Amino acid sequence: MNLTLKVWRQKNDKASGKFEEYQVEATEHMSFLEMLDVLNEDILENKGEPVAFDHDCREGICGTCSLTINGRPHGPNRGTTTCQLHMRHFNDGDTITIEPWRAEAFPVVKDLVVDRSSFDRIIQAGGFISVNTGQAVDGNSIPIEKEIAAESFDAATCIGCGACVAACPNGAAMLFTSAKVSHLGLLPQGKVEQDKRVVKMVETMDDEGFGNCTNIGACHVECPKEIKLENIARMNRQYFAAKIKA
């Protein structure tokens, strides 16, 4: 299949950047990233500068790939990362626009690569358990209700890709932060530090320059792990409670 790509090219974080057009020949069995690999080989053959884009596991679990494809973070399919998106979902002759994640808290490093260390700093503020949990205990010695365990696990599937921020018209990081807060706070070991965690993580999220959530829900629509909006409400609740508690 023959495709026309409109790719965002930007030298570094200071440069202004612009779209470049490329022709590429792909097969429908390729993943989106493999199609870009082909493009980069073509560019290298012509002694050009290859397009920089982020990727690592290429199996949908690391959260490194991060492309806005035709205006949609991770492309048109629901619950799919860019690396798991295959070219069969496109048609021969299509023009595809590829842009980096857009948010002030995710500055462009080069071309399609953005700096997501703001997420790391949110995690550093409280996305961990520091109480001593002792030796590994017997499997079922701490009873946890099945629903709670599932809820926590669902939240834990967040891969920290940042598509939620990229999709949000406000550039808010509520879905990511609330997923992290929920995944730890729902379980007994995480509950101990939950008040501190929520307050610290929300404060860091604000300091990093993310926008304010207005409950639009675009984050959930574009999240490759379909993290639920309920997590956001839970974080609101826990934040207010933690603040008011003496």
Catalog residues that contact ligand SF4 under the rule CB under 6 A: 63, 158-164, 175-176, 179, 223-225, 227
**Does residue 117 touch other proteins according to CB under 8 A?**
no
**Can you list the alpha helix ranges (DSSP code H) found in the chain?**
32-45, 117-126, 146-156, 163-167, 174-185, 188-191, 194-207, 218-222, 230-244
Among 3, 7, 55, 225, binds ligand FES (CB under 6 A): 55
**By three-state DSSP, how is residue 151 classified?**
helix
* Residue 61 partner contact from other proteins, ligand SF4, ligand FES, none using kind-dependent CB cut-offs of 5 to 8 Å: ligand FES
CB of 159 to ligand FES, least distance (A): 6
Q: Please, what's the b/e burial string for 113-129 (b: 16 or more CB within 10 A of its CB; e: otherwise)?
A: bbebebbeebeebbbee
> Kind and range of the H or E element at 19?
strand 18-25
Subset of residues 64 to 123 that bind ligand FES, contact rule: CB under 6 A: 64-65, 81-83
* Residue 65 partner contact from other proteins, ligand SF4, ligand FES, none using kind-dependent CB cut-offs of 5 to 8 Å: ligand FES
Contact 80, 159 (CB under 8 A): no
Q: How far apart are CA 96 and CA 80, in angstroms?
A: 17
CB of 175 to ligand SF4, least distance (A): 4
- When the beta carbons of 42 and 230 are compared against other proteins, the nearer one is 230
CA 26 to chain centre: 26
**Does residue 171 touch other proteins according to CB under 8 A?**
yes
Q: How far apart are CA 2 and CA 198, in angstroms?
A: 49
- When the beta carbons of 61 and 107 are compared against other proteins, the nearer one is 107
User: Dihedral through CA 146, CA 152, CA 155, CA 156, nearest 10?
Assistant: -110
Cα–Cα nearest to 86, from 100, 99, 69, 101: 69
Question: Which segment (81-89, 112-120, 187-195, 222-230) binds other proteins by CB under 8 A?
Answer: 222-230
Question: Which segment (56-64, 94-102, 143-151, 166-174) binds ligand FES by CB under 6 A?
Answer: 56-64
Count, residues near ligand FES per rule CB under 6 A: 13
**Amino acid letter for position 106:** F
* Residue 10 partner contact from ligand FES, other proteins, ligand SF4, none using kind-dependent CB cut-offs of 5 to 8 Å: none
CB of 41 to ligand FES, least distance (A): 19
Query: Interface residues with other proteins (CB under 8 A)?
Result: 6, 19, 68, 70-73, 97, 99, 102-105, 167-172, 202-203, 205-206, 209-218, 221-222, 229-230, 232-240, 243-244
